[in-house]
Amino acid sequence: MATNGMSLVVPTVAAGLFWKKATPQGAIASMVTAEAVYLGLYASGVRYVWGGFFLGFPAIAVGIVVMIVVSLATQDKYYKAHAAQQGVFEDFFVRGRVSAWIRENMGTKAAK
CA–CA gap between residue 17 and residue 90 (Å, rounded): 22
Q: Is the pTM of this model over 0.75?
A: no
In sequence order, the 6+-apart residues with CB closer than 8 A to the CB of 30 are 11, 12, 15, 63, 64, 66, 67, 70
How many residues does this entry show for the chain? 112
Regions in the chain scoring below 70 on pLDDT: 1-2, 50-53, 79, 83-84, 86-89, 91-96, 107-112
